[in-house]
């Protein structure tokens, strides 16, 4: 994990041989308003600021808020300072984040978020965290074996379905539009799950992957926990969150 206190210093080796643009970049990072911090340090701070903003405004996202509470209720409280880390995933990875089962930590990819030029960074971060929190929830509540391809695919399906990354906005829909929305949601879940699975299992080919997803998809797609329904649009996500909050209201 990068750290703003010990991130690598600016590379001044062979300074004379560097191009003019490289020299200007070095001078700027050292002296012009960045208090001597490198780009890596500034990017790290930017990503962490987005993470803290996501948690401070968790109530704005029903998927994210529900999962924070569900994990706490399961005895697996998420502490942002010990269970979330910012790390280098490689400039070419394109990854947003993942859950490390061995370390029980959510890993957020520094390069992807630092280089993103999206309007709603908080929402993207909350969705990314929610995706990993589904993995954390399954890790907490069940004996999940991440090395088992069937378990891995099931996690990928549930994470895509319950994190909000495939959720449509909560507009009023007629029956035809509603059916179309649900089909689109299922298609998105399939695509995201396969993408996530193949990234973790690069030796698998598509025929073998398709055969596996046909075996596990019905069961895993219909396992909504901790939701009480499939949150295929924003309205359903909010209703699910409301139902979760009132689920144990009258327990003694």
Q: What is the pLDDT of residues 204-225, one digit of tens each?
A: 999 999 999 999 999 999 999 9
Contact (CB, 8 A) for 189 and 153: no
Position 34 scores a pLDDT of 55
CA 60 distance to own-chain centroid:
16
Q: Which pair of tokens denotes residue 101?
A: 């089962």
pLDDT at residue 3 greater than cutoff 90: no
Name the H helices within 57-144.
62-73, 80-83, 110-115, 121-141
How sure is the predictor about 147, in pLDDT bands with cuts at 50, 70 and 90? confident
> Could you tell me if 230 and 185 are in contact, meaning their C-beta atoms sit under 8 angstroms apart?
yes
Given a cut of 70, is residue 245 above it in pLDDT?
yes
User: Tokens 């409280």 sit at which residue?
Assistant: 77
pLDDT band at 43 (very low <50, low <70, confident <90, very high): confident
pTM, two decimal places: 0.79
């Amino acid at each position: 994990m990068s750290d703003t206190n010990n991130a690598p210093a600016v590379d001044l080796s062979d300074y004379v041989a560097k191009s003019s643009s490289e020299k200007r970049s070095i001078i700027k990072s050292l002296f012009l308003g960045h208090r001597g911090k490198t780009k890596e340090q500034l990017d790290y701070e930017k990503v962490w600021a987005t993470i803290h903003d996501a948690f401070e405004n968790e109530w704005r996202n029903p998927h994210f808020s529900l999962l924070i509470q569900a994990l706490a209720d399961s005895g697996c409280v998420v502490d942002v300072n010990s269970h979330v880390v910012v790390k280098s995933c490689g400039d070419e990875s394109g990854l947003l984040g993942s859950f490390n089962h061995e370390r029980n930590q959510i890993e957020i990819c520094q390069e992807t978020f630092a280089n993103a030029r999206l309007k709603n960074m908080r929402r993207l971060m909350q969705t990314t965290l929610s995706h990993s929190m589904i993995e954390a929830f399954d890790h907490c509540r069940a004996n999940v074996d991440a090395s088992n391809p069937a378990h891995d695919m099931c996690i990928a399906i549930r994470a895509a379905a319950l994190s909000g990354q495939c959720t449509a906005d909560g507009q009023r829909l007629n029956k035809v539009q509603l059916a179309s929305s649900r089909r689109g949601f299922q298609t998105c879940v399939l695509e995201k799950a396969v993408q996530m699975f193949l990234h973790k299992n690069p030796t698998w080919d598509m025929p073998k992957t398709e055969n596996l997803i046909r075996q596990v998809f019905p069961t895993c797609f219909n396992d909504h926990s901790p939701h009480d329904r499939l949150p295929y649009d924003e309205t359903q996500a909010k209703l699910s969150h409301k139902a979760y909050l009132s689920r144990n209201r009258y327990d003694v």
